[in-house]
Amino acid sequence: MGCGNSKVLPEASKKGYVSVVQSLVVFSKRHEGDEPKKHKEKRRGPWFSNSDDGPRPTSSGRQQFTQRRERDKAASYKDTFEPRVTARYDIKALIGRGSFSRVVRAEHRATRQPFAIKMMEVAAPRGREVCASELAVLQRVNHANVIQLIEVFQFPRRVYAVLELATGGELLDRVVSRGHFTERDATRALQMVLAGVGHLHNLGVTHRDLKPENLLYYHPGADSRLLVTDFGSATFGGTLAGSEVSKTGEQPGEDRSWSLRTTCGTPEYMAPEVLLRKPYTCAVDMWALGVIAYIVLSGSMPFEDDNRTRLYKTIVRGKYSFHGNPWPSVSNLAKDFIARLLVSDPAARLTADQAIRHPWVVTMAAGASMRNLHRSISQNLRQRASRGSSRCPSSGDAKEKKPTAAAVKQSSWNESDALKPEGIRSISN
């Protein structure tokens, strides 16, 4: 969901028009490393297995049913797309949905290049606001580790945003599927995320909903870049003074440190100042990155409770620990990196530029033991997914879905859930 104080998208002409944000010719020049290597990778077992026996056999009938269902969904959504969009893109499958949007996988008819198309409903004022906020951000960003906007089709009731298609899966899915994961692997991933987030902050953008499922690999290859995605909650503002804002007409060193106030995001990743409804800055993204780093290294969450009131109290107090596996095997530098991000005082938190220069990240965990953390991470994710809490599926569901989606996706935020500085609000379920 989007949030923030955004400008309302003006009504387009009834005929519709196409706004080319980035030409397809330029886009066809891949970022360095985008072409996956051709060698065969050793296949791993299911997410909860530590064996190398390979994946479980899948039913061909189930695969055919799934493919047929995807084709049927694609056909039904294709009929709702504007002819000018379908004339250029072949709609293949529905891959996601939100309050005001649907996302489909599509193929450019001339180049056969795959893309994602986000269809956003803008007839209602709230839909226009969300759309305007997201597009305002996407039209500014240009970084290898941030999802790229290709072009926009605008019509009176709908806007279609053509985006890069990330096919490599979520960050934690990659961690689990590899079968071998060390601190060095974690620093590689976090370097890319920090580079993307640093680019956003330098542009004056605060993401406000960073979490593992919004970090996607561009392709399945081991050398794929990692992308920051989902800008439905992103907005301009909250940037720290002195940031270089190279694409907004601002001069380096100019003060863009005004605070944000709208409450949004995913509860387990929210910074204390957001829960307390205090004015906040882009430092909230750095808190979320601290939570993500904790999860990537352990498969567990630093702040977790089925009771929201207790959860929020724990976050506001900044109470977490490095107990249990695999933390005894994790280096002190890695723990220091997390501790400098999960700081209750936002002014004391590392910025993106400082975090990417932290010794643990710069040296790529050179001083760590390089012990394989995969077993503990997978076990922790599986235990969390099978607990049967209100935010997790049953153990039966966990067998059908990848563990990371089951284990880390959290409940949605509700404005009434915010805390007051003097205490905890009553939460109605």
Question: Do 75 and 191 sit in the same domain of this protein?
Answer: no
CATH classification of the domain holding 197: 1.10.510.10
3-state secondary structure the chain: CCCCCCCCCCCCCCCCEEEECCCHHHHCCCCCCCCCCCCCCCCCCCCCCCCCCCCCCCCHHHHHHHHHHHHHHHHHHHCCCCHHHHCCEEEEEEEEECCCEEEEEEEECCCCCEEEEEEEECCCHHHHHHHHHHHHHHCCCCCCCECCEEEEEECCCEEEEEECCCCCCEHHHHHHHHCCCCHHHHHHHHHHHHHHHHHHHHCCEECCCCCHHHEEECCCCCCCCEEECCCCCCEECCCCCCCCCCCCCCCCCCCCCCCECCCCCCHHHCCHHHHCCCCECCHHHHHHHHHHHHHHHHCCCCCCCCCHHHHHHHHHHCCCCCCCCCHHHCCHHHHHHHHCCCCCCHHHCCCHHHHCCCHHHHCCCCCCCCCCCHHHHHHHHHHHHCCCCCCCCCHHHHHHCCHHHHHHCCCCCCHHHCCECCECCCCCC
Tell me: do 97 and 111 sit in the same domain: yes
- Check whether residue 387 and residue 278 sit in a common domain: yes
Task: Let me know whether 161 and 183 are in one domain.
Answer: no
- Whether residue 254 sits in one domain with residue 160: no
Q: Are residues 269 and 325 in the same domain?
A: yes
pLDDT < 50: residue spans in the chain: 1-2, 4-20, 22-29, 39-57, 241-257, 389-429
Whether residue 178 is contained in a domain is answered as yes
Is 194 found in the same domain as 101? no
Instruction: Render pLDDT for 333-392 as a digit per residue (tens, 0 to 9).
Output: 999 999 999 999 999 999 999 999 999 999 998 888 889 999 999 999 988 887 754 443
The CATH number covering residue 100 comes to 3.30.200.20
Domain match, 155 and 178 both: no
Whether 119 maps to a domain, the answer reads yes
User: 125 and 184, same structural domain?
Assistant: no
What range does the domain containing 156 cover?
61-165
The pLDDT value recorded for residue 169 is: 94
- Do 343 and 298 reside in the same domain of the chain? yes
Do 75 and 100 have their domain in common? yes
Domain endpoint, select from 165, 199, 231:
165
The domain tally of the chain equals: 2
**Is 211 among the annotated ligand-binding positions?**
no
Q: Of 145, 165, 185, which closes a domain?
A: 165
What amino acid positions are annotated as catalytic residues? 209
* Confidence at residue 258, expressed as pLDDT on a 0 to 100 scale: 54
Domain identity same for 65 and 135? yes
Q: Which of 138, 165, 192 is the last residue of a domain?
A: 165
